Amino acid sequence: MAEGIRIENLVKTYGSGDTAVHALRGVDMSVAKGEVVGLIGPSGSGKSTLLKCLGAVIEPTSGRMTIGDRVIYDDRWKAGDLTALRRDLIGFIFQAPYLIPFLDVIDNVALLPMLAGKPNAQARKEARDLLEALDVAHRAAAMPSQLSGGEQQRVSIARALVNRPPVILADEPTAPLDSVRALAVVDLLNSMAKQFDTAIIVVTHDEKIIPTFRRLYNIRDGVTIEEERGVLKAQAAK
Amino acid sequence: MISLAGRDILHGWGKFVLTGVGLGLLIGVTLSMAGVYRGMIDDAQALLDNSGADLWVVQKDTLGPYAEPSSLNEDTERPIRAMAGVDRAAGVTYLTMQIAHEGTDVRVMVVGAEVAVPGEPGQPPHLLAGRRIVQGHYEAVADVKTGFAIGDRVKVRRNSYRIVGLTSRMVSSGGDPMLFLSLKDAQDAQFDKDSDAIVRQRARTASSPVLNPPGNPAVAEAVNAVQASSNNVNAVLVTVKPDADAGQVAAAIRRWQRVTVYTRADMESILIDKMIANSARQIGMFLVILAIVSAAIVAFIIYTMTIGKIREIAVLKLIGTRNRTIAGMILQQALGLGLIGFAVGKIAASFWAPFFPKYVLLLPADSVRGFFAVMAICSLASLLAIHAALKVDPAEAIGG
Ligand SMILES: Nc1ncnc2c1ncn2[C@@H]1O[C@H](COP(=O)(O)OP(=O)(O)OP(=O)(O)O)[C@@H](O)[C@H]1O
Ligand SMILES: [Mg+2]
């Protein structure tokens, strides 16, 4: 399978000297295109830190990260246009949907292609297609506050996908959802990953969905342990 | 690309519009202050224009007749009239006083002008209604702002006058509307003494052997007559012939008479640079304070709006919105607030200008200046909020 994400010996230390926190101590990880992997670990183990490094939000201390052929970080790294990098390569899904409250549903999604320079009409068309695929197109004109939690989460997934980024990073995307909806979101991520050839990392504590991942990374004290699991289909778990 | 600023404003427009209206009233006050200043200058210009004079002849070494008291004998006028280059010359008196009218006191400037010949300097140059003063006595022409109507009788000192004509924009440099009387009537009013004073004055004359020589009562009569009337004026207004140079005529009058002569330019500088200067500084202070208060309000509201959106701004940054776009959004909101404020302020100022007791002149040029000042203040005021927004770390959107 083609490589989506590769992380080699990634180190992140917050602060320095006596107060230094060694959040990541040499993480290795790889995710294929079209694959969804889980990332689990106890609180404070470095999951969010890993997402932030990969998401080009904070600067790692050392190591190497690539997305497809593109080197995101290595020892020759210089701070470049991280905003454009995030916009073009990475989709984010959060525990809470964090939709923009003053934009209606369709423009919440269409904003990303617009930011990438696409004309409004085309951006909205792409957004609508995706909302249809996620079964929330009928709420396109609503404001986020008028949506149910599950609908909001689906809109935020549409937003993460709309620019067809090669990578999606999801931090606890199912935490506020009941088990049926949580499994539906995982199904959705799986089918989206296949459809768009996206490499997806899902950080989770959620016991309901952990069994659905074919591959899991367990992170402890800043290092990852890869675990293979027998696939428990979301369908079967219901 | 959609307008993030516009969408955000539409989403919470109630608060935004209310703030804009509040700001607008403040801007309205600011525009009115500027209008009051322009009104004062315009009043001064109107005073000079409407006097119809090219030169003002006043008591030697005074800034009269508007800025300082000045007193001349009315006979000063005659030799001036005969001088080369002089077209007309006429004495005038000015006296500011309160006049009772329909139960209220009206503050007016009583102007005494020569009425025998139409078009003499000092007369009202145009009438809205009625006619000019034709009788030597007990007729008056009033500025409409006095509130007097044709046919009204008004009492000035001891005598009563009938309003026969109305004029407009005839105000003193202090903005008091004018009431025109014949020069003779006005002189009487100006130098009128009350009855007790006359009785006392007569007694004094009678008891003085010099003024009342025994056996010759005609002398005392004559003295009393002289004392009871006045033939002083506050200034002589002069117009020069079309081909004459006002400066040269002024120089000639100065050479021959013991008087001070001002040209139109001198008079403008006395009224505007000397009399209005302090008020102008006063208003300038107000404008500065109002500008600071407006800036503080805009800064505060835009800052509050931005702080309320920190989470959204973090998300926007995380999903790839540039700092430039976010700063632009905040700036546009500040400018939008300024736009609403300016529109409301302009409307408010135009609406309430007529209710001001003094003339408020809203110049379009001042509005344009005000508009750019508002926009500049709003841009400055948004800097604080922009600074806060740019400091937001996109990592905050991911959280712990
Ligand atoms: N900005 C920071 N400065 C200093 N230390 C930090 C910072 N962010 C995280 N840390 C520390 O790094 C370690 C890893 O934190 P991280 O947020 O990655 O944990 P996590 O696995 O996401 O935990 P949780 O499951 O509770 O969200 C923790 O010990 C944390 O205290
Ligand atoms: Mg975390």
pLDDT 10s digits, A74-102:
888 777 788 888 888 999 988 888 899 99
SS3 label, residue A90: strand
Whether the predicted pLDDT of A238 surpasses 60: no
Q: How far is the CA of A50 from the centre of ligand 1 (A)?
A: 10
A92 and B318 within 8 Å at the Cβ level: the answer is yes
Please check whether residue A227 is in contact with residue A40, taking contact to mean a CB–CB distance below 8 angstroms: no
Indicate if the pLDDT at residue A167 is higher than 90: yes
Give residue B27's identity as a one-letter amino acid code: I
Residues 6 or more apart whose Cβ sits within 8 Å of residue A57: A82, A86, B318, B393, B394, B395, B398
Residues A158/A90, Cβ–Cβ less than 8 Å: no
* Beta strands A3-14 and B232-233, pairing class: unpaired
Angle between helices A105-115 and A149-161 (to 10 degrees): 20
pLDDT tens digits, chain B, 400 residues: what are they?
Answer: 889 899 998 888 888 899 889 989 989 998 998 898 888 888 888 888 888 889 999 998 998 788 888 888 888 888 888 888 899 999 999 988 898 888 888 999 999 998 888 888 888 888 998 898 888 789 999 999 898 999 999 988 888 999 999 998 888 887 889 999 998 888 888 776 666 777 887 888 888 877 777 877 777 777 776 666 678 889 999 999 999 898 999 999 988 888 999 999 999 998 888 878 888 888 889 888 988 888 888 888 889 888 988 988 999 998 888 899 999 999 999 999 999 999 999 999 999 998 988 888 999 999 999 999 999 989 988 999 999 999 998 888 877 6
Query: Chain A partners of B4 at a C-beta cutoff of 8 Å?
Result: 102-103
Q: What are phi and psi of A77, to 5 degrees?
A: -65, 135
How many residues can be counted in chain A? 238
**Does the pLDDT of residue A236 top 50, yes or no?**
no
DSSP state of B159: E
Residue whose CB lies within 8 A of the most ligand 1 atoms, among A14, A169, A201, for a mutation test: A14
**Which one-letter DSSP state was computed for residue A207?**
T
Smallest Cβ distance to A114: which of B2, B8, B318? Answer: B2
Q: Which residue has the higher pLDDT, A180 or A138?
A: A138
Angle at A151 between CA A147 and CA A155, to 5 degrees: 105
CA dist., res. A236 & res. A121, Å (int): 41
**How many CB atoms sit inside 10 A of residue B183's CB?**
24
CA distances from B392 to B12, B298, B314 (A): 22, 21, 6
Q: Among partner residues A95, A101, A171, which is closest to B11 by beta-carbon distance?
A: A101
Residue B55 and residue B263 in contact, taking contact as beta carbons nearer than 8 Å: yes
Mutate to test the pocket of ligand 1, among A16, A18, A47 (most ligand atoms within 8 A of CB): A47
Query: What are the structure tokens assigned to B46, written together?
Result: 């109107």
Element (H, E) at A221: none
Pocket of ligand 1 (CB under 6 A): A 14-15, 21, 23, 41, 43-49; B 400
Q: How many helices (H) and strands (E) does chain A have?
A: 7, 10
Q: What is the pLDDT of residues A37-58, one digit of tens each?
A: 999 998 889 998 999 999 988 8
Pairing status of strand A70-73 against strand A62-67: antiparallel
Q: What is the C-alpha to C-alpha distance for residues B280 and B278, in angstroms, rounded to an integer?
A: 5
- Alpha helices of chain A — where are they, by DSSP H? 47-54, 82-89, 105-115, 120-133, 149-161, 179-196, 234-237
Residue A217 phi, psi dihedral angles, 5° rounding: -110, 130
Arithmetic mean of pLDDT, A146-169 = 90
User: CB–CB of A57 and B394 under 8 A?
Assistant: yes
The Cα-based distances of A142 to A137, A204, B105, B250, B261 in angstroms read 10, 29, 65, 81, 79
Q: Does B395 touch chain A (CB under 8 A)?
A: yes
Counts for chain B of helices (H) and strands (E), in that order? 13, 12
Q: Which ligand is nearest to the CA of B398?
A: 2
Q: Please tell me the residue having the least CA distance from ligand 1 atom 1.
A: A14
User: What pLDDT is stored for residue A237 in this prediction?
Assistant: 42
Token pair 């089918």: residue: A191
- Rg of the Cα trace of chain B? 31
Q: Check if the beta carbon of residue B5 is closer than 8 Å to that of residue B328.
A: yes
Report the residue of A94, A111, A152, A201 to disrupt the B interface, i.e. the one with the largest count of B CBs within 10 Å: A111
Residue B58 is given by DSSP the state E
Contact residues, B window 280-339, toward A, CB-based 8 Å cutoff:
311-312, 315-323, 325
Among B4, B319, B394, beta carbon nearest to A112: B319
Q: What does the pLDDT read at residue B357?
A: 81
How far does residue A211's CA lie from ligand 2's centre (Å)? 20
Q: What are the residue boundaries of the structural domains of chain B, listed by start?
A: 4-43+277-397, 61-192+230-257
Closest ligand 1 atom number to CA of residue A49: 18
Q: Give yes or no for B12 touching A (CB within 8 A).
A: yes
The reported pLDDT for the residue numbered A235 is: 43
Distance between CA atoms of residues A39 and A201, nearest Å: 7
Rounded average pLDDT over A203-214? 88
Residue-wise pLDDT for B188-223, tens only, equals: 887 766 667 778 878 888 888 777 778 777 777 777
The neighbour count for residue A214, using CB atoms within 10 Å, is: 14
Question: What is the 8-class DSSP label of residue A15?
Answer: S
**What's the token pair of residue B58?**
């006043």
Q: Hey, which residues 173-232 in chain A have their CB within 8 Å of chain B?
A: none
Which CATH fold would you assign to the domain A3-235? Answer: Rossmann fold (3.40.50)
Atom of ligand 1 nearest to the CA of A21: 5
B315 and A98: CB-CB below 8 Å? yes
Sign of CA dihedral B80, B84, B85, B88: positive
Q: So what's the pLDDT on residue B296? A: 87
Pocket test for ligand 1, best of A11, A21, A40 (most atoms within 8 A of CB): A21
What pLDDT is recorded for position A234? Answer: 44
Q: Which SS3 state, helix, strand or coil, does residue A79 take?
A: coil
DSSP class per residue in A151-187? HHHHHHHHHHHTT--SEEEEESTTTTS-HHHHHHHHH
| Contact between A100 and B316 using a beta-carbon 8 Å cutoff | yes
Query: Residue A233 — very low, low, confident or very high, per pLDDT cuts 50/70/90?
Result: very low
Phi-psi category of residue B85: left, alpha or beta, with phi > 0 → left and psi -120 to 50 → alpha: left
CB proximity list for B14: less than 8 A, separation 6 or greater: none
Q: Which of B81, B77, B113, B73 is nearest to B95 (CA)?
A: B113
Across residues A59-69, what is the average pLDDT?
Answer: 91
Q: Whose CA is nearest to atom 14 of ligand 1?
A: A46
The pLDDT, as a whole number, for residue B305 is: 86
Interaxial angle between packed helices A105-115 and A120-133, expressed in degrees from 0 to 180 and rounded to the nearest 10: 130
Residue A20 CB neighbour total at 10 angstroms: 11
Q: Could you tell me the pLDDT band of residue A143, with boundaries at 50, 70 and 90? A: very high
Nearest to B271 by CA among B197, B174, B185, B136: B174
Nearest C-alpha neighbor of A22 from the set A61, A70, A68, A71 = A61
Q: For A139, which DSSP code? A: G
How far is B164 from B381, CA to CA, in rounded Å?
57
**Which residue among A57, A86, A103 sits closest to B7, beta carbon to beta carbon?**
A103
C-alpha distances (whole Å) from A120 to each of A123, A126, A137, B1, B313 are: 5, 10, 17, 6, 21
Q: Do A83 and B320 touch (CB under 8 A)?
A: yes
B11 at interface of A, judged by CB pairs closer than 8 A:
yes
C-alpha of residue A14 to centroid of ligand 1, in Å:
9
